[in-house]
Amino acid sequence: MNEIISETLDQWHKFVEAPSIAILHGILDENVNFHSPFVWKPKVGKMITIGILMTVTEVFENFRYIREIIGDSQLCLEFEANVGELTLRGVDLIQLNEDGKIMDFEVMIRPANGLQMLGAEVGNRLAAKGLI
Amino acid sequence: MNEIISETLDQWHKFVEAPSIAILHGILDENVNFHSPFVWKPKVGKMITIGILMTVTEVFENFRYIREIIGDSQLCLEFEANVGELTLRGVDLIQLNEDGKIMDFEVMIRPANGLQMLGAEVGNRLAAKGLI
């Protein structure tokens, strides 16, 4: 694993352990594209992506990564988490730019009932914050 | 990329180009676990996995891989495809055993409407074949 990926991944792991806007500010590109598991069209920009990621961390319980596949400038991080009574799995597909900043962040979730419950929980919170 | 992964990936790409039960027989472990994007519980075994994979290839149109992240014994293959009027993305998360056979195959799909349409199409076909 090259140094740039390693540093960003370390910071991301710190964020997952203790969510912090400051950490996200340090590792997200200004024009990051965020592809949610729910809708096709990406959200663009650091501020909305921070808002979404901070919100999602409120909803997941027992979040843990179970598999990491590391490429040259890309990461595939698979997680398991609980939402309410359900257990779900997901992947974070992360593309870094040459400075090690995250320029593309895509999330997919299975199974369908977990995706649905997550969507309801996250949607309510984003709407309450005026983010969607 | 090591040779065992490379050979299995080559065979998989051949399968995607021209779906063939014979190719799947050669690269799937007898006890492969298949984790669908729709339900939590995996399907276990080569025969049911072949049935599912052959069926899914009937439903996807314009299937193409857009990103591949390769680990030591794991693959993260991201695709785009059309189902009816919709475009969707998905990942194949593939774990190989020491012989290069696929022992675990997990699929996730986004966005939610694409997952739903795929589920309806694939579910109908699997039911018609008596596979679910």
Q: What is the ipTM of this complex?
A: 0.96
CA distance B73 to B33: 16
Asked if B38 and B124 touch (Cβ cutoff 8 Å), the reply is no
Name the residue in chain A with its Cα closest to that of B110: A37
Residues B38-80: tens digit of each pLDDT? 999 999 999 999 999 999 999 999 999 999 999 999 999 999 9
CA distance B33 to A63: 23
CA distance B94 to B8: 11
Residues B78-105: tens digit of each pLDDT? 999 999 999 999 999 999 999 999 999 9
Supply the pTM of this predicted model.
Answer: 0.96
CA distance B77 to B91: 5
Q: What type of residue is A9?
A: L
Chain A: nearest CA to B23, how far in angstroms? 25
Chain B: nearest CA to A119, how far in angstroms? 9
Does A36 lie at the interface with B, CB-CB under 8 angstroms? yes
Look at A108 and B106 and tell me if their CB atoms are within 8 Å.
no
Q: What are A17's two structure tokens? A: 């352990």
Name the residue in chain B with its Cα closest to that of A74: B69
